[in-house]
Structure 1
């Protein structure tokens, strides 16, 4: 049985800071798809890059594009052959659509699929629209049913939570090995107190045996939010920004990175460094500091998206100390179910209200406000903005 198309409002980017509310026709879902009324979409750093610059690194918007991919909603219609969901189910959307046939997809590493089409990304052309719209169609197999204990706002955090879980899975501690060392030496350092850095700190605190998790940033207001996270082993640390007048030679850059690492080691009494270091900034200076701050045999996990520049890194230092450099691209095929389970478990209670600092209603005015809030980093009252979630109409 099929139905007719439905009109849907969508926030569409036509160029840098040119966001328009348009009405489009959304067809009835095809076989294997469901139609979803979008209830919540969180704004990501990539959305902001596209909004302000019309590009995210090397990926340039070449046609009008609907942004947003951290999303959840309610199923309103089923395409043929859909048996796992029914109308009224609340779902989180896993928005990367792979080929499902290549070697990487068959290993559940679909995030590395060369045919990947990711909603709201300009990496492929024609672009695949994101979820800042009233209704959308999506493969049922990539829609994860939500329990009633997960709110719409919490559901908008499932996607970034999956990123954090993937970072943790890629760098998991060897429990048998760490049992042989003093517990106080099992430590983690996170560069970046944005939404991903704060959420990652919470995931580590809730699921991993770190005795200390340090969140480092130059932004004191975001560190203040880090200090309110509901875990006793998370500690914020203020980094001093490099002086603008400082030399920009590779040697000077490395000296600055060493000074950050030494400062952290001294403050937290860790002469051998941190067991795991996670960079959530993509900043070359933080990646350098991460390598110097790692313990011998440790790991530096690259979570943040770097720019197109080719930074100079202390690779010999990393090699001689057997420090693993671990890349993280979004999440693999195992992370979304794990993210839903973790959010539903209660282990992250008290986290969402600290990270989602602002919500706005979907629409032209709300869309403009959401991007301005997220881009400015503070609201009109001077409050810090970490994560903005755009809320759709209630069904």
Structure 2
């Protein structure tokens, strides 16, 4: 054991969803590391919409909670034990975590887009059974390949938004060239707000942000939105006539706004995860305007570019972090994060 490694406990404090409405902060066993696993002392974890859905509904989209699951995939921390096979960063290294494990034996996805692999697992996801535990825990045993060393001048607290910022970065990349173009962002929760920031960094000429609440619109304004609109102002949204639209609300009304706000020949990127099943939408406008409608799901290696942009200050994220709670107060933190009218990204401090 190196001088920077520590003796590890057999149990560690974690945030576990047992069923809909049943969220607990409890001691859980620390998994025995495989040779390619590192042990990370988690500093911060960001509460994601999927974490909220597992708590409130017992499901996130089609991922149904069938057994207690440790939540959390937006995490950063410090390596306290390097993988015994020598892979990954050494003990003492501050890291962000890429929570995906691409895989499966189906060849039906592009080789350069592992986020689409059918067997892909994600920390804190019930998409597979047994579920993939997350990392809302004081100590997390993680594959060393998930770890991304932080630049020296990037704080752990700022890096805590690297994962959702990578989701936003991927969506903006799906939109194509945005420099000098007009953009519309529908839904300004944490992901939508980060989309605004990424669009600003990418050189969008004008960015219109839409939401039902004033608080997220104010954050979007801080991050670079040139115009903000209430979601019930249908005429104003339709008049935006945006070259690029990124839908982040994940509901049918946001989808309608995104289509109506797009210019003829424009591109609409669907980032917000719509509920499973059929969704009503004005598809006649997709046809008559020859709109390109694309999906955007998670990300691949964009987190590396995000960390660099966070470190050099070109990607602004500070206004997105609205609250911080100790892990012992996770139930209160989740309740605050659920209130979109009064919170943005809520962090747990471990």
Place the TM-score, normalised by the shorter chain, in its bin: over 0.9
Q: Distance in 2 between matches of 1:87 and 1:100?
A: 31
Residue by residue, what CA displacement relative to the aligned partner does 1:316-349 show, whole Å, maximum 9, x if unpaired?
32133221111011112x2111111111121124
Displacement after TM superposition at 1:104 (Å): 6.6
Q: Distance in 1 between matches of 2:215 and 2:192?
A: 14
User: What SS class does the counterpart of residue 323 from structure 2 fall into?
Assistant: strand
Report the counterpart of residue 196 of structure 1 in structure 2: 191
Does the 8 Å contact 2:229/2:236 carry over to 1? no
Query: Normalization by structure 2: what TM-score?
Result: 0.92
Highest Rg: 1 or 2? Answer: 1
Q: Distance in 1 between matches of 2:204 and 2:315?
A: 16
Verify: 1:385 aligned to 2:339, yes or no: no
Does the 8 Å contact 1:226/1:235 carry over to 2? no
Aligned counterpart in structure 2 of residue 20 of structure 1, from 20, 24, 28: 24
Displacement after TM superposition at 1:200 (Å): 0.5
Question: Number of paired residues?
Answer: 346
User: What SS class does the counterpart of residue 199 from structure 2 fall into?
Assistant: helix
Q: Distance in 1 between matches of 2:195 and 2:250?
A: 15
User: What SS class does the counterpart of residue 38 from structure 1 fall into?
Assistant: strand
After superposition, the CA RMSD in angstroms is 2.2
Displacement after TM superposition at 1:99 (Å): 2.0
Aligned counterpart in structure 2 of residue 225 of structure 1, from 197, 206, 219: 219
Report the counterpart of residue 236 of structure 1 in structure 2: 228
Aligned counterpart in structure 2 of residue 343 of structure 1, from 285, 289, 310: 310
Aligned counterpart in structure 1 of residue 112 of structure 2, from 108, 115, 122: 108
Residue by residue, what CA displacement relative to the aligned partner does 1:34-71 show, whole Å, maximum 9, x if unpaired?
11011110001111111111111222110001111111
Report the counterpart of residue 206 of structure 1 in structure 2: 201
Does the 8 Å contact 2:178/2:244 carry over to 1? no
Report the counterpart of residue 85 of structure 1 in structure 2: 89
User: What SS class does the counterpart of residue 147 from structure 1 fall into?
Assistant: coil
Aligned counterpart in structure 1 of residue 286 of structure 2, from 312, 318, 339: 318
Displacement after TM superposition at 1:11 (Å): 1.5
Relative distance call for 1:34 and 1:307 in structure 2 (3 A) is same
Kindly report which structure 2 residues correspond to 1:50-69, keeping only aligned pairs within 5 A, or say none.
Answer: 50-69=54-73
5+ unaligned residues in a row in structure 2: which ranges? none
Residue by residue, what CA displacement relative to the aligned partner does 1:360-386 show, whole Å, maximum 9, x if unpaired?
0112xx1111111111346xxxxx211
Query: Normalization by structure 1: what TM-score?
Result: 0.82
Residue by residue, what CA displacement relative to the aligned partner does 1:197-248 show, whole Å, maximum 9, x if unpaired?
11110111012x321000011212221222233x3x532112327xxxxxxx
Report the counterpart of residue 250 of structure 1 in structure 2: none
User: What SS class does the counterpart of residue 227 from structure 2 fall into?
Assistant: strand
Verify: 1:360 aligned to 2:325, yes or no: yes
Residue by residue, what CA displacement relative to the aligned partner does 1:126-146 show, whole Å, maximum 9, x if unpaired?
011111111111111111000
Aligned counterpart in structure 2 of residue 295 of structure 1, from 255, 263, 276: 263
Relative distance call for 1:105 and 1:148 in structure 2 (3 A) is farther
Q: Distance in 1 between matches of 2:251 and 2:99?
A: 26
Aligned counterpart in structure 2 of residue 371 of structure 1, from 309, 334, 338: 334
Q: Distance in 2 between matches of 1:278 and 1:377?
A: 19
Q: Distance in 2 between matches of 1:152 and 1:264?
A: 37
Report the counterpart of residue 281 of structure 1 in structure 2: 249
Relative distance call for 1:57 and 1:88 in structure 2 (3 A) is same
Aligned counterpart in structure 2 of residue 130 of structure 1, from 113, 127, 134: 134
5+ unaligned residues in a row in structure 1: which ranges? 176-182, 242-259, 379-383
Verify: 1:264 aligned to 2:237, yes or no: yes
Report the counterpart of residue 253 of structure 1 in structure 2: none
Displacement after TM superposition at 1:16 (Å): 2.0
